[in-house]
Amino acid sequence: MSSTPTPRTTNGGISFWYADHGIPTPREPLPGDTTADVCIVGGGYTGLWTAYYLKKAVPFLNITVLEAKFCGYGASGRNGGWLYNGIAGRDRYAKLHGQEAATRLQDAMNDTVAEVVTTAATEGIDADIHQGGVLEVAYTPAQFSRLKAFHATEVAFGEKDRILLGARDTAARIKVAGAVGSTWTPHGARLHPAKLAKGLADTVEALGVTIHESTPVTAIEPKHARTPYGTVRAPYILRCTEGFTPNLKGQKRSWLPMNSSMIVTDPIPPHLWETIGWDGRENLGDMAHAYMYAQRTADDRIALGGRGVPYRFGSKTDNDGRTQPATIAALRDILVRFFPTLAGTGIAHAWSGVLGVPRDWCSTVTLDRSTGLGWAGGYVGSGVATTNLAARTLRDLFLQDSGQGGTTDLTTLPWVNHKVRKWEPEPFRWLGVQGMYAAYREADRRELTGRTAETNPIARIADRIAGR
């Protein structure tokens, strides 16, 4: 099956979420040299949630957020809107620190989904949040084996409310063609990413946080954030730049900017929804190696994402979300394979963004006590909720370091102050990532046509290349 995007598909323009909600008018750039108690670099969810929790904890704190474009310009305004309890690196943290420590991290993530939902409601942020949980489906024998193993692992990490569903119960929720089973967890909600980003920026500004937009930070040094408009001097500088981090001086080979791309359909009429179901508006995913993720939007479209072309040579990022036509066609093929009745449905918009991938695929939160430099990220594809836990953790680390708080449940989580080695130089970085995703796609293709319940060995080789 192969298809091309319709000529009227909008490509880029940051994301559909901004076409829907409007691109905000940027706030004023930094007017010149200034000082702050805390300077936050990057106005995505990590930076904004951090500003939020710091200001709530210490209302007189002088906080400045510096954002290169506008708040929500990055992944936070482009994602799939899957608020869920997954966290990159948990299984490795279990190996490094033990099952109990990793289970505490997982418990904290389960609570984080509820924290985001509650805080958005408390602050009056209407982000189309609907708590329908997460449904992950299998449609090959190998995927079904992985699904059962995944379900067992999650239960072992304390998720007692996760359930395993057979083909019929899966179809009763969402009729995915060929689905043989699924797993569902209540720890997930669908949201409108740009509405959350804009709501958060407005909320922290109303609390008294200073936000300067159109202000790219060119260098981060202890107690200094330098920009073309002036320097912010602050005892604490917190880097919240995720997939854009390699653009900063000295960070070229830290987190790798991995592309994730999305399409959104035209609104789907009721007679077609009858062929699909999806009344519970669960976040929908699958067990493929190059996995997909999707949501039913508040205005009854399907927004669906996947990897597409995974990485641009030299850690380059996209131009305002523009993605490759081949990626749009590949995502549309997945949509129609899942829901054949949508073969004639138009694709309204396509876009991409970058997520930050550390060499060991483990997300981290760090505050270096000797320099006052902090950072959080490397969330891979799971940042919508994780950014909130990271922000509360940064808050606690700040309070501890500045003598206003002590050790907390968050400061002792296993992802705190985790160190990771750098990525390889080019061309090895590019070759490795391209090779890894080519292998995952080939493994998926073979599993789709094969009858064995074993994961295709090519995927295991790809896992090894990835260093997962």
Ligand X SMILES: Cc1cc2nc3c(=O)[nH]c(=O)nc-3n(C[C@H](O)[C@H](O)[C@H](O)COP(=O)(O)OP(=O)(O)OC[C@H]3O[C@@H](n4cnc5c(N)ncnc54)[C@H](O)[C@@H]3O)c2cc1C
Judged by the rule CB under 6 A, the positions of this chain that interact with ligand X are 41-47, 66-69, 73-76, 78-82, 216-217, 240-244, 247-248, 260, 262, 293, 305, 352-355, 377, 379, 381-385, 387
Cβ–Cβ under 8 Å, residues 173 and 184: yes
Identify any residues that bridge with 10 across adjacent strands, giving them in sequence order. 349
CA dist., res. 159 & res. 264, Å (int): 31
Residue closer to ligand X (CB basis): 11 or 455: 11
Query: Where on the phi/psi map is residue 278: left (φ > 0), alpha (ψ -120 to 50), or beta?
Result: left
User: Whole-number minimum distance, CB 37 to ligand X, in Å?
Assistant: 19
Cβ–Cβ under 8 Å, residues 313 and 430: yes
DSSP state of 15: -
| DSSP characters over 118-166 | HHHHHTT-----B---EEEEE-SHHHHHHHHHHHHHHHHTT-TT-EEEE
What's the count of helices (H) and strands (E) in the chain, helices before strands?
12, 21
Helix pair angle (45-57, 193-207), 10° resolution: 30
User: Whole-number minimum distance, CB 197 to ligand X, in Å?
Assistant: 7
Identify any residues that bridge with 82 across adjacent strands, giving them in sequence order. 190
Q: Which helix (H) or strand (E) holds 39?
A: strand 38-41
- Alpha helices in 31-140, H assignment, sequence order: 45-57, 90-97, 99-122
Cβ–Cβ under 8 Å, residues 232 and 221: no
User: Whole-number minimum distance, CB 297 to ligand X, in Å?
Assistant: 12
**In the complex, residue closest to ligand X by CB:** 383
Residue closer to ligand X (CB basis): 73 or 339: 73
Q: Which amino acid is at 199?
A: G
Residue closer to ligand X (CB basis): 202 or 442: 202
User: Whole-number minimum distance, CB 213 to ligand X, in Å?
Assistant: 9
User: Whole-number minimum distance, CB 141 to ligand X, in Å?
Assistant: 27
Residue closer to ligand X (CB basis): 69 or 198: 69
Cβ–Cβ under 8 Å, residues 53 and 391: yes
User: Whole-number minimum distance, CB 27 to ligand X, in Å?
Assistant: 13
User: Whole-number minimum distance, CB 123 to ligand X, in Å?
Assistant: 18
User: Whole-number minimum distance, CB 204 to ligand X, in Å?
Assistant: 13
Which residue do the tokens 């949980």 mark? 133
Residue closer to ligand X (CB basis): 144 or 415: 415
Residue closer to ligand X (CB basis): 209 or 384: 384
CA dist., res. 222 & res. 395, Å (int): 18
Residue closer to ligand X (CB basis): 215 or 455: 215
Residue closer to ligand X (CB basis): 72 or 372: 72
